[in-house]
Amino acid sequence: MAGVIEAARIMSQYKFPATIIFVAVSGEEQSLLGSGFMAAKAKKENWNVDAMMNNDMIGSNNSSETNIIDNTRLRVFSEGLPSLDLDKNAKSIRQFGLENDGKSRQLARYVKEIGERYVDQLEVKLIYRNDRFLRGGDHTPFVENGFTAVRLTEMNENFDHQHQDLRTENGVRYGDLQEFMDFEYLRKNTGVNIAVLANLAKAPSSPTEVKIDVKNLSNSTFLYWKAPINGTVKGYYVLMRETSSPVWEKKFFTSATELRLPYSKDNYLFAVQSIGNDGNESLPVVPGIGR
Protein backbone atom coordinates (compact mmCIF):
# COMPACT_ATOMS: atom_id res chain seq x y z
CA MET A 1 0.00 0.00 0.00
CA ALA A 2 2.89 2.36 0.71
CA GLY A 3 4.12 1.75 -2.83
CA VAL A 4 0.68 2.45 -4.33
CA ILE A 5 0.26 5.65 -2.31
CA GLU A 6 3.75 6.88 -3.22
CA ALA A 7 3.19 6.13 -6.91
CA ALA A 8 -0.08 8.07 -6.79
CA ARG A 9 1.60 10.99 -4.99
CA ILE A 10 4.38 11.28 -7.56
CA MET A 11 2.27 10.74 -10.66
CA SER A 12 -0.46 13.15 -9.53
CA GLN A 13 2.02 15.96 -10.25
CA TYR A 14 1.91 15.19 -13.98
CA LYS A 15 -0.72 14.95 -16.69
CA PHE A 16 -1.17 11.87 -18.87
CA PRO A 17 -3.35 11.33 -21.93
CA ALA A 18 -4.52 7.98 -20.55
CA THR A 19 -6.29 7.28 -17.27
CA ILE A 20 -4.34 5.68 -14.42
CA ILE A 21 -6.32 4.13 -11.57
CA PHE A 22 -4.76 3.32 -8.19
CA VAL A 23 -6.71 0.71 -6.27
CA ALA A 24 -6.61 -1.00 -2.90
CA VAL A 25 -8.76 -4.11 -2.71
CA SER A 26 -9.94 -5.99 0.35
CA GLY A 27 -10.81 -9.64 0.84
CA GLU A 28 -7.76 -11.08 -0.92
CA GLU A 29 -7.45 -13.87 1.62
CA GLN A 30 -11.20 -14.52 1.41
CA SER A 31 -11.18 -15.74 -2.21
CA LEU A 32 -10.12 -12.48 -3.88
CA LEU A 33 -13.40 -10.74 -3.07
CA GLY A 34 -12.38 -7.14 -3.79
CA SER A 35 -10.49 -7.79 -7.01
CA GLY A 36 -13.14 -10.26 -8.13
CA PHE A 37 -15.81 -7.59 -7.72
CA MET A 38 -13.75 -5.01 -9.59
CA ALA A 39 -12.81 -7.32 -12.46
CA ALA A 40 -16.46 -8.32 -12.90
CA LYS A 41 -17.48 -4.64 -12.87
CA ALA A 42 -14.82 -3.80 -15.46
CA LYS A 43 -16.02 -6.64 -17.69
CA LYS A 44 -19.70 -5.75 -17.33
CA GLU A 45 -19.10 -2.06 -18.04
CA ASN A 46 -16.66 -2.84 -20.88
CA TRP A 47 -13.71 -0.91 -19.44
CA ASN A 48 -10.79 -0.41 -21.82
CA VAL A 49 -8.01 -1.78 -19.60
CA ASP A 50 -4.59 -1.82 -21.28
CA ALA A 51 -2.80 -3.33 -18.29
CA MET A 52 -3.38 -4.29 -14.67
CA MET A 53 -0.36 -4.54 -12.35
CA ASN A 54 -0.93 -6.31 -9.05
CA ASN A 55 1.66 -5.56 -6.37
CA ASP A 56 1.59 -8.12 -3.58
CA MET A 57 4.58 -8.24 -1.21
CA ILE A 58 7.24 -5.94 -2.70
CA GLY A 59 9.23 -4.81 0.35
CA SER A 60 11.05 -7.73 1.95
CA ASN A 61 14.52 -8.73 0.78
CA ASN A 62 15.02 -12.06 2.58
CA SER A 63 13.67 -15.58 2.71
CA SER A 64 12.83 -17.95 5.51
CA GLU A 65 14.54 -21.38 5.60
CA THR A 66 17.08 -20.64 2.84
CA ASN A 67 18.18 -17.31 4.42
CA ILE A 68 18.75 -15.63 1.05
CA ILE A 69 19.14 -11.84 1.26
CA ASP A 70 18.75 -10.05 -2.09
CA ASN A 71 17.16 -6.73 -3.02
CA THR A 72 18.33 -6.72 -6.64
CA ARG A 73 15.63 -8.91 -8.20
CA LEU A 74 11.86 -8.56 -8.59
CA ARG A 75 9.55 -11.28 -9.88
CA VAL A 76 6.79 -10.65 -12.41
CA PHE A 77 4.32 -13.51 -12.84
CA SER A 78 2.29 -13.84 -16.04
CA GLU A 79 0.13 -16.43 -17.73
CA GLY A 80 1.22 -17.71 -21.13
CA LEU A 81 -2.05 -19.23 -22.36
CA PRO A 82 -5.18 -17.09 -22.02
CA SER A 83 -7.58 -18.05 -19.24
CA LEU A 84 -10.54 -16.75 -21.24
CA ASP A 85 -11.65 -18.56 -24.41
CA LEU A 86 -8.62 -20.84 -24.50
CA ASP A 87 -10.68 -23.55 -26.20
CA LYS A 88 -11.48 -21.17 -29.07
CA ASN A 89 -7.87 -20.09 -29.54
CA ALA A 90 -5.93 -23.25 -28.71
CA LYS A 91 -5.67 -24.46 -32.30
CA SER A 92 -4.11 -21.25 -33.65
CA ILE A 93 -1.85 -20.91 -30.59
CA ARG A 94 -0.46 -24.40 -31.22
CA GLN A 95 -0.24 -23.94 -34.97
CA PHE A 96 1.71 -20.68 -34.81
CA GLY A 97 3.81 -21.51 -31.74
CA LEU A 98 2.40 -18.72 -29.56
CA GLU A 99 2.26 -20.57 -26.24
CA ASN A 100 4.59 -17.97 -24.77
CA ASP A 101 2.96 -14.89 -26.29
CA GLY A 102 -0.30 -14.21 -24.48
CA LYS A 103 -1.16 -10.58 -23.69
CA SER A 104 -0.14 -10.89 -20.06
CA ARG A 105 3.21 -12.38 -21.09
CA GLN A 106 3.73 -9.36 -23.37
CA LEU A 107 3.00 -7.05 -20.43
CA ALA A 108 5.52 -8.96 -18.31
CA ARG A 109 8.20 -8.46 -20.98
CA TYR A 110 7.29 -4.79 -21.07
CA VAL A 111 7.63 -4.53 -17.28
CA LYS A 112 11.07 -6.10 -17.52
CA GLU A 113 12.31 -3.84 -20.33
CA ILE A 114 10.95 -0.57 -18.95
CA GLY A 115 11.66 -1.39 -15.30
CA GLU A 116 15.29 -2.26 -15.93
CA ARG A 117 15.66 0.77 -18.22
CA TYR A 118 14.78 3.25 -15.49
CA VAL A 119 15.60 1.54 -12.17
CA ASP A 120 19.25 0.82 -11.40
CA GLN A 121 20.49 -2.29 -9.60
CA LEU A 122 17.31 -4.25 -10.22
CA GLU A 123 16.64 -7.24 -12.44
CA VAL A 124 13.06 -8.10 -13.29
CA LYS A 125 12.70 -11.87 -13.42
CA LEU A 126 10.06 -13.32 -15.74
CA ILE A 127 8.24 -16.19 -14.03
CA TYR A 128 6.31 -18.33 -16.49
CA ARG A 129 3.17 -18.98 -14.49
CA ASN A 130 0.23 -16.83 -13.47
CA ASP A 131 1.23 -16.93 -9.80
CA ARG A 132 3.28 -18.91 -7.32
CA PHE A 133 2.79 -22.67 -7.18
CA LEU A 134 -0.87 -23.42 -6.24
CA ARG A 135 -1.30 -19.86 -4.95
CA GLY A 136 -3.20 -16.84 -6.22
CA GLY A 137 -3.43 -13.06 -6.20
CA ASP A 138 -5.62 -10.12 -7.12
CA HIS A 139 -4.63 -10.10 -10.78
CA THR A 140 -6.20 -13.53 -11.32
CA PRO A 141 -9.85 -12.37 -11.60
CA PHE A 142 -8.70 -9.90 -14.24
CA VAL A 143 -6.96 -12.50 -16.42
CA GLU A 144 -9.95 -14.80 -15.95
CA ASN A 145 -12.14 -12.03 -17.38
CA GLY A 146 -9.87 -11.57 -20.39
CA PHE A 147 -7.83 -8.56 -19.19
CA THR A 148 -4.06 -8.18 -19.45
CA ALA A 149 -2.70 -8.53 -15.91
CA VAL A 150 0.47 -9.53 -14.06
CA ARG A 151 1.68 -9.88 -10.48
CA LEU A 152 4.80 -8.17 -9.10
CA THR A 153 6.32 -9.80 -6.01
CA GLU A 154 9.57 -9.75 -4.08
CA MET A 155 12.09 -12.37 -5.15
CA ASN A 156 12.38 -14.28 -1.87
CA GLU A 157 9.40 -14.79 0.42
CA ASN A 158 9.72 -15.04 4.16
CA PHE A 159 6.96 -17.27 5.50
CA ASP A 160 7.77 -16.30 9.07
CA HIS A 161 6.19 -12.95 8.18
CA GLN A 162 3.10 -14.22 6.33
CA HIS A 163 -0.16 -15.43 7.89
CA GLN A 164 1.40 -15.29 11.35
CA ASP A 165 0.22 -14.09 14.73
CA LEU A 166 2.74 -11.69 16.28
CA ARG A 167 4.94 -13.72 18.62
CA THR A 168 8.48 -14.89 19.37
CA GLU A 169 9.22 -18.62 19.47
CA ASN A 170 12.67 -20.20 19.87
CA GLY A 171 14.24 -16.82 19.25
CA VAL A 172 12.37 -16.31 15.97
CA ARG A 173 10.23 -13.18 15.56
CA TYR A 174 7.01 -13.94 13.66
CA GLY A 175 4.67 -11.51 11.96
CA ASP A 176 4.56 -8.80 9.32
CA LEU A 177 6.39 -5.91 10.98
CA GLN A 178 8.08 -2.71 9.83
CA GLU A 179 11.42 -3.90 11.14
CA PHE A 180 11.49 -6.56 8.42
CA MET A 181 11.10 -4.05 5.59
CA ASP A 182 13.85 -3.05 3.16
CA PHE A 183 12.73 0.44 2.18
CA GLU A 184 15.37 0.81 -0.54
CA TYR A 185 14.01 -2.37 -2.12
CA LEU A 186 10.47 -1.01 -1.81
CA ARG A 187 11.61 2.23 -3.45
CA LYS A 188 13.08 0.38 -6.42
CA ASN A 189 10.02 -1.83 -6.86
CA THR A 190 7.74 1.20 -6.66
CA GLY A 191 9.96 2.85 -9.27
CA VAL A 192 9.32 -0.04 -11.65
CA ASN A 193 5.58 0.56 -11.32
CA ILE A 194 5.90 4.29 -11.91
CA ALA A 195 8.15 3.83 -14.96
CA VAL A 196 5.83 1.27 -16.56
CA LEU A 197 2.65 3.22 -15.79
CA ALA A 198 4.12 6.49 -17.08
CA ASN A 199 5.43 4.95 -20.30
CA LEU A 200 2.15 3.20 -21.06
CA ALA A 201 0.03 6.23 -20.17
CA LYS A 202 2.14 8.56 -22.34
CA ALA A 203 2.38 6.18 -25.30
CA PRO A 204 -0.20 5.92 -28.07
CA SER A 205 -2.36 2.84 -27.94
CA SER A 206 -1.20 -0.31 -29.69
CA PRO A 207 -1.39 -0.60 -33.47
CA THR A 208 -4.48 -2.29 -34.87
CA GLU A 209 -5.05 -5.10 -37.37
CA VAL A 210 -1.43 -6.24 -37.23
CA LYS A 211 -0.88 -8.93 -39.86
CA ILE A 212 1.92 -11.10 -41.19
CA ASP A 213 1.65 -11.76 -44.91
CA VAL A 214 1.46 -15.42 -45.95
CA LYS A 215 0.38 -15.16 -49.60
CA ASN A 216 3.73 -16.46 -50.85
CA LEU A 217 6.46 -18.73 -49.55
CA SER A 218 9.37 -16.49 -48.71
CA ASN A 219 12.53 -16.31 -46.60
CA SER A 220 11.66 -12.70 -45.78
CA THR A 221 8.80 -11.57 -43.55
CA PHE A 222 6.32 -8.85 -44.49
CA LEU A 223 4.22 -7.25 -41.75
CA TYR A 224 1.55 -4.58 -42.07
CA TRP A 225 -0.88 -2.87 -39.70
CA LYS A 226 -3.09 0.16 -39.08
CA ALA A 227 -2.50 3.17 -36.86
CA PRO A 228 -3.62 3.04 -33.22
CA ILE A 229 -7.03 4.38 -32.24
CA ASN A 230 -5.63 6.77 -29.61
CA GLY A 231 -2.56 9.00 -29.55
CA THR A 232 -0.11 10.53 -31.99
CA VAL A 233 2.49 8.24 -33.50
CA LYS A 234 6.04 9.05 -34.48
CA GLY A 235 6.50 5.54 -35.85
CA TYR A 236 6.53 1.88 -34.95
CA TYR A 237 8.91 -0.78 -33.72
CA VAL A 238 8.76 -4.21 -35.27
CA LEU A 239 10.07 -6.54 -32.59
CA MET A 240 11.81 -9.83 -33.30
CA ARG A 241 13.15 -12.71 -31.25
CA GLU A 242 14.15 -16.31 -31.69
CA THR A 243 11.43 -18.76 -30.71
CA SER A 244 13.49 -19.88 -27.70
CA SER A 245 14.22 -16.37 -26.39
CA PRO A 246 12.25 -15.09 -23.36
CA VAL A 247 12.56 -11.43 -24.44
CA TRP A 248 12.47 -9.43 -27.66
CA GLU A 249 15.97 -9.27 -29.13
CA LYS A 250 15.79 -6.81 -32.03
CA LYS A 251 13.80 -3.66 -32.78
CA PHE A 252 13.32 -2.23 -36.27
CA PHE A 253 11.94 1.31 -36.54
CA THR A 254 9.70 2.51 -39.34
CA SER A 255 7.42 5.49 -39.81
CA ALA A 256 5.30 3.50 -42.28
CA THR A 257 2.56 0.99 -41.46
CA GLU A 258 4.38 -1.90 -43.08
CA LEU A 259 7.85 -3.42 -43.09
CA ARG A 260 9.63 -6.26 -44.83
CA LEU A 261 12.47 -7.91 -42.93
CA PRO A 262 15.14 -10.29 -44.28
CA TYR A 263 14.32 -12.84 -41.59
CA SER A 264 12.15 -15.92 -42.00
CA LYS A 265 8.86 -16.19 -40.09
CA ASP A 266 9.71 -19.90 -39.83
CA ASN A 267 12.59 -19.12 -37.48
CA TYR A 268 11.52 -16.00 -35.57
CA LEU A 269 8.59 -14.47 -33.73
CA PHE A 270 7.44 -10.90 -34.37
CA ALA A 271 5.31 -8.16 -32.84
CA VAL A 272 4.59 -4.48 -33.51
CA GLN A 273 4.31 -1.58 -31.07
CA SER A 274 3.45 2.10 -31.52
CA ILE A 275 5.95 4.84 -30.65
CA GLY A 276 4.85 8.27 -29.45
CA ASN A 277 6.55 11.59 -30.18
CA ASP A 278 8.50 11.39 -26.91
CA GLY A 279 9.63 7.82 -27.57
CA ASN A 280 7.16 6.05 -25.29
CA GLU A 281 6.18 2.59 -26.51
CA SER A 282 2.81 0.87 -26.44
CA LEU A 283 2.37 -2.77 -25.57
CA PRO A 284 3.38 -5.04 -28.48
CA VAL A 285 0.83 -6.81 -30.66
CA VAL A 286 1.57 -10.25 -32.08
CA PRO A 287 0.47 -10.38 -35.73
CA GLY A 288 -2.42 -12.37 -37.05
CA ILE A 289 -2.51 -14.02 -40.46
CA GLY A 290 -2.86 -11.80 -43.53
CA ARG A 291 -3.70 -13.13 -46.97
CATH 2.60.40.10 domain range(s) in the chain? 208-290
Q: What is the CATH number of domain 208-290?
A: 2.60.40.10
CA distance 189 to 186: 5
User: Which residues does 26 contact at the CB level (< 8 Å), separation at least 6?
Assistant: 33, 34
Q: What is the pLDDT at residue 72?
A: 98
The confidence score (pLDDT) of residue 183 equals 97
- One digit per residue, pLDDT tens: the chain, 291 residues? 999 999 999 999 999 999 999 999 999 989 999 999 999 999 999 999 999 999 999 999 999 999 999 999 999 999 999 888 888 899 999 999 999 999 999 999 999 999 999 999 999 999 999 999 999 899 999 999 999 999 999 999 999 999 999 999 999 999 999 999 999 999 999 999 999 999 999 999 999 999 999 998 999 999 999 999 999 999 999 999 999 999 999 999 999 999 999 999 999 999 999 999 999 999 999 999 998
Q: What is the pLDDT of residue 291?
A: 85
The rounded distance, in Å, linking the Cα atoms of 192 and 4 is 12
| Structural contact between residues 270 and 240, judged by C-beta atoms closer than 8 angstroms | yes
CATH, domain range 2-202: 3.40.630.10
- In the chain, residues under CATH classification 3.40.630.10 are 2-202
- The pLDDT value given to residue 84: 84
24 backbone φψ class: left, alpha, beta (φ>0; ψ -120 to 50): beta
pTM above 0.85, yes or no: yes
How many Å separate Cα 61 from the centre of its chain? Answer: 22
